Each structure stands twice: as C-alpha cells, then as structure tokens.
Amino acid sequence: MFDNLSEKLDKAFHVLKGHGQITEINVAETLKEVRRALLDADVNFKIAKEFTNRVKEKALGQNVLTNLQPGQLMVKIVKDELTELMGGDAEEVDLSGNPSVILMSGLQGSGKTTFSGKLASYLKSKKSKKPLLVACDVYRPAAIDQLHVVGEQIGVEVYSDRGNNDPVAIAKAGVKQAKSTGCNVVIIDTAGRLAVDEQMMTEIANIHKAITPQETLFVVDSMTGQDAVNTAKAFNDVLNFDGVILTKLDGDTRGGAAISIKSVVDKPIKFIGTGEKMEAIDVFYPSRMADRILGMGDVVSLVERAQEQFDEEQARKIQKKIAKNRFGFDDFLSQIQQIKKMGNMKDLMGMIPGAGKALKGLDIDDDAFKHIEAIIHSMTPEERSTPSKLNASRKKRIAMGSGRTVQEVNQLLKQFEQMSKMMKMMQGGGGKKMMQMMQN
C-alpha cells in the first residue's frame, strides 16, 4: 500500500539529515521534495501546495521549541498534517435506525457489491447486527447473482426481485422485508455505470429520496487517483453522501485519492477495502494511515488483527500440549492457518515499523508458507505428532513427496525445535525471564 509515496517522502526527509537546525533554506528544499512526492501520488495541485505551506509554517514556528532532530520534527509535522488532511478521527456508520438503511453508490466496477458484502459481514460479526442485502441493479442480472453468491458466502439474507425493473420499488420492498423478518440493517446495492451520467444520478437520487437512508456511502476505487476525487465530487453534489469507501487500497501504490478526497468533498473516509476476500475491510483511521504512509508501521492494527483471529480454546489446547511436550507439526500447521487468516502477508509486514522499507522489492506472496505446508503435508500423522522419529530416510521421502530439498526439511525441523523450546521457556515462568533478558 502506498509504497511509491512512502519511498519518496522518506527521500525528502533525507535532505534534513546532518543539519542541526531547521532553516528557511533546508525547509524549502525538503518541502519541494514533499510536494513533488504528493503530486506524483496524484494529489491535487492546490491541496499539495496548501499542505506544504502549512507544514512550512509549523516547522519554522516550532523550530526553537523542541529538541527533536530536524528530520524527526519534519516527519512529525507532516504526519500530523496528513492525519488532519485525511479527516482527523475515525468515523463509523450510523446504525441508530431500526432498521438502519445504508445506501451504496458509485461507478460500476468500483467494488460496490463486494463492499456491500464485506460491510454486511462486518456488521454481523463485529456489531452483532442482522443485515439484509438488497439487489437494486435492474440492468445486470449478473450483479444480482453476484450479490446472492456473496450473501451465501457470509450467511446473510439477500432480497431481489428479478421481474421488477423499478429500483425504487425494489429498495422500498427490501426495507419492508427487513422489518418483517427482524433485520436491523438494510444494505442497498445499486446499479453503477462506467462513467457519471445523468440517468444514473437521477435513479440513485430517486432511491435516496424514497427511502431516506441513515447512511449514504460512496464507493470508489482508490487506484483511480484524481478521477476518484472528481467522481466523488459529482456524486456528492447530487446525493450529499455521508461517507466515502475507498476500495482496492491493496493495489494502490500512490495514495492520492486517500489523501485528497476528504478535503475536496468534506466527507470522511469511513472504511477501506484491502482485497477481494470478505474479510478485507478495515475502519479508516487517518492517523494510522499517516503512519503507514510515512513508513512508521501500524502496530495497533496489527495487534487488533491478531486479537481478532485469536482462538482462545485452541490456545488453551496448545498450551496443554506444550506442557506435556506434545506440540507437533499438526499444531504448527494450525498456527500457520491462524496467521494466514490475519490477511495478506505483505500487508501484515507493512504494519511493522520500518519493515516497509526493508521489504521493498522483496517478493512476499500470500503463499509465504506454501513450502512449509507442503513439507508438513508429506509427513505421516505419526511423524507429525512425534517429530523425533524423523530419521534420514524419512526426511528423504518427505523431501521427495513435497518437491523440496532435504536441506529445507532439515531447516524446518530446526525452526520447529527452536520454536518448541522457546514456547516451553515461556510456559515455565520463563516468560518473565525472557522479557528481562530482552530489556537488558
């Protein structure tokens, strides 16, 4: 996410390296680079200019008040200004209605249907809501099918009416259905077109008027940069929407839409989409996003994701096994599954401070564990539960079966042993000792 922008900003701050103090001259030089980085990221010219002007004012003003290094001071000011530009605090959707009606708008292909599913799944699992998805695209039967597939996948009911070509009537009937079936959130997926046109605007405006939703969301593909911002403006003029959903951030290396959209339409970004899977949805936190843009990582989100996937029951079972020295490769495999559920590997690594830069150019694919899994899958159940049985001929067989080398099998065994040892240490009250060791 935003790799290009992060790299360029990092270079910009280098100008200040070695300088003892911030001066008019070195600030101007740094900010010229910052501005260039923003423009390359497809941030609107005016916004980039105003941004750097504000940073300059603050930098020169704060210079004497702090003992931070000029580079650090500049990073902090840029971080604060980026956070402010992207909206300050996080804002979630309004769920006060009964049912709460959420209307989705946006161009075709922006990710509306996918996001409708993600939001329904999020509200169901995180907010204990009972959502109903309503398919209002009367032009593309495939879109209705797609919503049904998504609904089935996440276990959420979908309302559609294939014979009906009046989206307003379908939306109204959907809300009625929600009331009669006890659904407390209605998410209405509407038709989009490839470009802004009058008919689409009139149609969505009519739906909006007829059902007066609690929340109207505008969905946009963040990779389209300034086009995303312009489209947002067109929709906002007609709908006066409540929030923006930025999708496909996983593929966006520039970040221009994320940075500029709030200041153009004056509406918060509420959620982001970071992949095609239903779990790839995050509340948008401007400050965490600023951290990520500046390569400072996002430990808070990382810990949150880990907590979400943490299965207490399983953890207890594993603890018992470690205590009895029975931790085997099947447990190892299930730990890997848990890590994988946390999301895309590169995305996860990017949340570790400083890692973004270090990992640049490295090809970490989603299947980072593929080889390990292949090796474990080539072991017999007995070998998995009692790794000490793995002699040379067994290792050779496993290597052949998994298409890996014996060295790789040995390497995995070594890692496994080290991990088991470490876990044993943590168990036996050694956790405290280890922490002390690390602190010294």
The CA radius of gyration of the chain, in Å to the nearest whole number, is: 26
Query: For the chain, how many helices (H) and strands (E)?
Result: 21, 8
C-alpha span between 176 and 181 (Å, rounded): 9
Pairing label, strands 215-221, 243-247: parallel
The residue number with the shortest CB distance to ligand GDP is 273
Q: Which residue, 9 or 119, is less far from ligand GDP as judged by CB? A: 119
What is the nearest approach in angstroms of ligand GDP to the Cβ of residue 32? 33
Q: Which residue, 80 or 227, is less far from ligand GDP as judged by CB? A: 227
**Residue among 44, 113, 121, 190 that touches ligand GDP (CB under 6 A):** 113
The upper half-sphere exposure of residue 298, i.e. CA atoms within 13 Å in the direction of its Cβ, equals 23
Are 203 and 239 a contacting pair, CB within 8 Å? no
**Residue among 6, 30, 52, 114 that touches ligand GDP (CB under 6 A):** 114
Cα 58–Cα 64–Cα 67 angle in degrees, nearest 5: 100
Q: Which residue, 195 or 323, is less far from ligand GDP as judged by CB? A: 195
Say if residue 79 carries a ligand binding annotation.
no
Residue numbers 148-177 binding ligand GDP by CB under 6 A: none
**Residue span binding ligand GDP (CB under 6 A) among the ranges 104-112, 159-167, 207-215, 391-399:** 104-112
Say if residue 61 carries a ligand binding annotation.
no
Which tokens sit at 334? 């299930």
**Residue span binding ligand GDP (CB under 6 A) among the ranges 4-12, 36-44, 271-279, 316-324:** 271-279
Q: Which residue, 97 or 109, is less far from ligand GDP as judged by CB? A: 109
**Residue among 121, 160, 190, 274 that touches ligand GDP (CB under 6 A):** 274
Closest to 412 (Cα-Cα) out of 381, 382, 377: 377
282 binds ligand GDP (CB under 6 A): no
Say if residue 106 carries a ligand binding annotation.
yes
C-alpha span between 247 and 275 (Å, rounded): 8
Which tokens sit at 317? 């079972």
Are 228 and 261 a contacting pair, CB within 8 Å? yes
What is the nearest approach in angstroms of ligand GDP to the Cβ of residue 384? 35
What is the nearest approach in angstroms of ligand GDP to the Cβ of residue 112? 3
What is the nearest approach in angstroms of ligand GDP to the Cβ of residue 166? 20
Closest to 185 (Cα-Cα) out of 136, 127, 138: 127
What is the nearest approach in angstroms of ligand GDP to the Cβ of residue 217? 12
The upper half-sphere exposure of residue 233, i.e. CA atoms within 13 Å in the direction of its Cβ, equals 10
Say if residue 297 carries a ligand binding annotation.
no
Q: Which residue, 9 or 104, is less far from ligand GDP as judged by CB? A: 104
Buried b (16+ CB within 10 A) or exposed e, 218-244: bbbbbbbbbbbbebbebbbebbebbbb
279 binds ligand GDP (CB under 6 A): no
Say if residue 397 carries a ligand binding annotation.
no
Q: Which residue, 42 or 81, is less far from ligand GDP as judged by CB? A: 42
Are 161 and 172 a contacting pair, CB within 8 Å? no
276 binds ligand GDP (CB under 6 A): yes
Say if residue 18 carries a ligand binding annotation.
no
**Residue span binding ligand GDP (CB under 6 A) among the ranges 52-60, 62-70, 112-120, 290-298:** 112-120
Name 12's Cβ contacts closer than 8 Å, sequence gap at least 6: 30, 31, 33, 34, 36, 37
What is the nearest approach in angstroms of ligand GDP to the Cβ of residue 328? 36
Query: Could you give the dihedral angle defined by the CA atoms of residues 33, 45, 257 and 269, in that order, rounded to the nearest 10 degrees?
Result: 110
Which tokens sit at 271? 């959620």
275 binds ligand GDP (CB under 6 A): yes
280 binds ligand GDP (CB under 6 A): yes
206 binds ligand GDP (CB under 6 A): no
192 binds ligand GDP (CB under 6 A): yes
**Residue span binding ligand GDP (CB under 6 A) among the ranges 4-12, 162-170, 270-278, 391-399:** 270-278
Q: Which residue, 252 or 331, is less far from ligand GDP as judged by CB? A: 252
DSSP notation for 207-237: HHHHH--SEEEEEEEGGGTHHHHHHHHHHHH
What is the nearest approach in angstroms of ligand GDP to the Cβ of residue 140? 8
DSSP notation for 389-418: G--HHHHHHHHHHHT--HHHHHHHHHHHHH
C-alpha span between 222 and 269 (Å, rounded): 11
Annotated binding site for GTP: 106-113, 189-193, 247-250
Residue ranges in contact with ligand GDP by CB under 6 A: 106, 108-114, 192, 247-248, 250-251, 273-276, 280
Annotated binding site: 106-113, 189-193, 247-250
